[in-house]
Amino acid sequence: MELTPHMYHWIVRPPWWTKRYIHNVINLHFHLKDKVVLDFGAGVGSNFRRILKPHGSVIVMEPCLSEKSQAQDWFMKDFDKGQYIRNEQGYLDMFHNHRFETDVLSRFKKLFLYNELFFTARPTH
């Protein structure tokens, strides 16, 4: 069953969840007052390095497969329809292979439906 974008957003990004697990985590790790922030869906990531300012960082929040959470993995594979969902090491390796340093900020289950990985990536020079 494929969900409409509105229904999908309502399920995976309710406002209280967004504040608790996105805004609060970002504010703990970054001082964004008077900073320019671009929030966009990156697709397969071909634009990450090209658009960063020198010494800029990417904040990544992605659904994440986990061998310990088979039920959440099933939900993500069936309802998200994402073909590029990886496990944690797969995401980190992808960035390392493109010369980025990474730092995992948080791992959590989202509404008991799927796992999410929250990390930063900075280009190495």
Which among 95, 28, 7 has a CA at the least distance from the CA of 58?
95
pLDDT in tens, 78-104: 666 666 788 899 999 999 998 999 999
99/115: higher pLDDT: 99
Look at residue 54 in the predicted model and tell me its pLDDT.
84
For the chain, the structural domain boundaries read 5-123
Residue in this structure with the two tokens 């791992």, named with its chain if needed: 107
pLDDT in tens, 15-60: 777 777 777 878 888 888 888 777 776 655 556 777 788 888 888 8
Please give the Cα distance from 74 to 91 (Å, whole number). 19
- Compute the half-sphere exposure of residue 106: CA atoms within 13 Å on the CB side of its CA: 19
Look at residue 6 in the predicted model and tell me its pLDDT.
76
pTM across the whole model: 0.72
Please give the Cα distance from 118 to 62 (Å, whole number). 7
For 45-60, the DSSP string reads STTTTTTPPTT--EEE
- 107 contacts 64 by C-beta, under 8 angstroms: yes
- 64 contacts 92 by C-beta, under 8 angstroms: no
- 49 contacts 123 by C-beta, under 8 angstroms: yes
What does the chain come to in residues?
125
